[in-house]
A and B are shown apart, each in its own frame.
Chain A
Amino acid sequence: MPTLDHPPGTSRRHLLRAGLALAGAALTPAQVWAQLAQAGGAPAPLPARMRQLLERVCDLTIPDTATPGAVKAGVPDFIALALQHGLARTGRPPPADQFSGGAAPAGAGWLDWLGFELDLKAGGNFLAAKPAAQTKALSDLDAAAYAKGGEKSPWRTWKGLIVTGYYTSEIGGSQELFFELVPGRFDPDIPVGPNDRAWSNDWTAVDFG
């Protein structure tokens, strides 16, 4: 999996190719292609600052409580994969008019937007700000996105990815919430209290809820 130790450009695919070159004829072409295909499924490592930003935002959105939060659940890895493949319509960059000031830096992507907006909200380097200032910056961004007029905010896409990544992870789906693949019965009317956990694979609710 990608880590902060991997500098940009040293993707698993690149390393694999380098290794294969050193190995010479030790592998058959079929084995080479099989390994390349396997490597293709892993997300390319993000630049260190981007990775740090992603982890911090995930942590602020769904932190550790009595159960592990988004970072320990592997949400940043899921999002790296999601961005690489364009999940949740992230295959296109955020609209230019969604950058505060209305001018998108050339080639700016989804992480650029996030960093740009959070730096603005934090009044400087978001990642260097104190935790309380980071929380306030992200809270402000979130509040604006869900206020009237914020419908097109890229933060809504970000929030969707974080929420999906967390509650479809084993930690989020089966520790924070309750998961049962084979219920074996349907109880049409049972009591539910304020402390009862929701059920992560209530598929109708997942689709329509």
Chain B
Amino acid sequence: MNTDFDAIVVGSGITGGWAAKELTERGLKVLMVERGRHIEHGTDYVTEMKAPWEMPFRGEGDPQLFEKDFAVQSKNRHFTEYTQNHFVNDRENPYSVADGTQFNWWRSYQLGGRSLTWGRQSYRMSDHDFGANKKDGHGVDWPIRYADLKPWYDHVEKFIGVSGQNEGLSSLPDGIYQPPMALNVLEKHAKGVIEAQWPDRRLTIGRTANLTQEKEGRGVCQNRMLCPRGCSYGAYFSTQSSTLPAAQATGNLTLITDTVVETVDYDAKAKRARGVSVLNVKTGERRRYTARIIFMNAGAFNTNHVLLRSRSEAFPNGLGNSSGRLGTHIMDHASTVGAIALFDTFQDRTSYGNRPTGVIIPRFRNLADQPETDFVRGYSFQGGALRSTWTRGKREAGIGEAFKNNLRHVGPWRMVLVSFAESLPRESNRLRLDPVKVDQFGAPLLQIDFTHGENERKALTDASKEASAMLTAAGGKVILSLNQPGIGGSAIHEMGGAMMGHDPRISVTNRWNQLHDVPNVFVTDGAAMASSACQNPSLTYMALTARACDNAVTMLKQGRI
């Protein structure tokens, strides 16, 4: 097998797929290296069409297996008996946390990575976000602004297909959307009440990478909401449904699976990376691949892990780490249940079909020049309204025929708002190589040292009050409202560690996502994030990747890297 390529892409998830597509379409011969197993689109989605009674544990899963092999993954709401094959085995893939801290690291090691299991919410970041670090002094100023990324958001949205509604908000820029999914009757009512009482707030349908119109051989969403099982209709964006077939169609892609990148190899004389050293996790075989450029798309923390492991005389603390900041300023949105309320209205109305998105209330706090609260930046809400179903029977008194007949019918409306607060970039929140523990191949484990801060707690406290106020105004009776964040990692938006910045002394990557120290290595997954904003980040990772690929090929052609 050929071992020399124009480009190597490390990882096959959301950004790895994008890097492979963009680079191969520009004529580069690309090797994509995936540490997990191969999953074929459609045929390998083995639980996709299963009813609960066709599953050994009715979809609930085997607790003994979960405790043994999925101790962390099984805490994720999206992890079920149907989806357990799309999450990593914790026992075989350990990580560590710093003393006194906790972090739930939810991972998918497989072809397609977390593109198979992601939440599909697709939002642009605004200049409120790109300017935040400079404005309040937390973290390092982003070296780009919205105008730099706008054409690439356009490019990505057009290709992946995002349904949503343009709203003209400064905190959540408009995009290029397929027709939006509809609000149900209670959401529509709540929207009217909230926007009338708080004119600076907007309730809108979630912008989701589920198709409402066919495109390029992909079918429209069937309203099953079984997405994390895999979708043979190709109705949501994943590597398998979208970027991988595009890359393969060029004839320029070589894909290897079950192969973990152990290190990025550095040529001290040439002052550039020469390639990667890999390990086949099935055979134990080690080999090297070489390339002119390398794209790091292993997922934010694993990209950090590979770079930290890539130690050499020139970079004794990890590749591209002359600043000492590699692994620092990691983030994850602080989230919790803002409020849940019961409603006794609209009892003669319901909805039909599983809509694969909820509603959002974008950030409305601290958008003016002067802060208006005791915390900086802001939060957003995601949620929705529903009529309860049979699961309420677990919480209600009664037995016998009357009990059964009651559960035969839909229950009352309830509405949920989940708060997502921005996670400030702090140097103390960081990744490092565990000084003692190693994995089955002898490599040091990744150690995560993360805690939410006071700013996040204040933001969630405010969010709790505001969520309760809005649902009460809409006529609901609030039954639960929380204001403390879940364990780090709970938002599954972990990011940072190789943050972009102008200054090589205090940041790791430049405005084109190149390592300051090693310009032929590009970090374009969540590791490059300099701040978190308070919206779902994957669309930004994709746009950064497409932009960096375009620039990398231009620089290659010009002989600049």
Contact = CB atoms under 8 A, between A and B. Distances in A.
Interface of A: 41, 60-63, 65, 69, 78, 81-82, 85-87, 91, 135, 138-139, 142-143, 145-147, 156, 159-160, 163-165, 167-170, 172-174, 176-177, 179, 181-209
B232 to A, nearest CB: 11
Contacts of A139: 399-400
B184 interface: yes
Which of A62, A145, A146, A197: most chain B CB closer than 10 A? A62
Given A164-B394, A188-B182, A204-B386, A183 B410 contact: no
B280 interface: no
B462 to A, nearest CB: 23
Contacts of B350: 190-192
Contacts of A209: 386-389, 391-392, 411, 414
B403 interface: yes
A82 B60 CA distance: 10
Interface stretch (B89-97, B222-230, B501-509): B222-230
Contact of A143 (B358, B389, B397): B397
A90 to B, nearest CB: 9
B225 A165 contact: no
* 8 closest cross-chain pairs (CB), A and B: A209-B388, A146-B397, A186-B353, A168-B52, A188-B182, A168-B58, A205-B389, A183-B353
B397 A167 contact: no
Contacts of A91: 63-64
Contacts of B183: 188
Contacts of B351: 186-190
B190 to A, nearest CB: 13
Contacts, number: 194
Interface of B: 49, 51-53, 56-60, 62-64, 77, 181-185, 188, 222-226, 340, 348-355, 358, 384, 386-394, 396-401, 403-405, 407-411, 414, 416
A135 to B, nearest CB: 7
Given A139-B399, A193-B348, 7 more contacts: A85-B63, A181-B51, A182-B222, A203-B354, A208-B416, A209-B387, A209-B411
Contact of A167 (B386, B407, B414): B407
Q: How would you classify the secondary structure of chain B's contact residues: helix, strand, loop or mixed?
A: loop
B350 to A, nearest CB: 4
B39 to A, nearest CB: 21
Contacts of A198: 387, 389-390, 407-411
Contacts of A63: 400-401, 404
16 contacts: A135-B400, A138-B399, A167-B391, A176-B404, A177-B390, A177-B408, A183-B354, A184-B222, A188-B183, A190-B351, A198-B389, A202-B386, A204-B355, A205-B388, A208-B414, A209-B389
Given A86-B64, A146-B396, A78 B58 contact: yes
Contact of A184 (B223, B384, B387, B390): B223
Nearest to A202: B389
Nearest to A42: B56
Nearest to B62: A85
B64 A85 contact: yes
A179 B50 CA distance: 12
Nearest to B185: A189
A202 B63 CA distance: 24
A105 to B, nearest CB: 25
Given A62-B404, A142-B398, A146-B397, A183 B64 contact: no
A139 to B, nearest CB: 6
A185 B349 contact: no
A189 B52 contact: no
A167 B226 CA distance: 18
A163 B391 contact: yes
A205 B387 contact: yes
Contacts of B405: 65
Contact of A194 (B58, B398, B404, B409): B409
A181 to B, nearest CB: 6
B223 A207 contact: no
Given A63-B404, A187-B352, A190-B351, A87 B52 contact: no
B185 A87 contact: no
Given A184-B222, A188-B182, A205-B388, A179 B399 contact: no
A191 B355 CA distance: 18
A5 B400 CA distance: 28
A173 B349 contact: no
Contacts of A196: 409-410
B89 to A, nearest CB: 18
Contacts of B184: 188-189
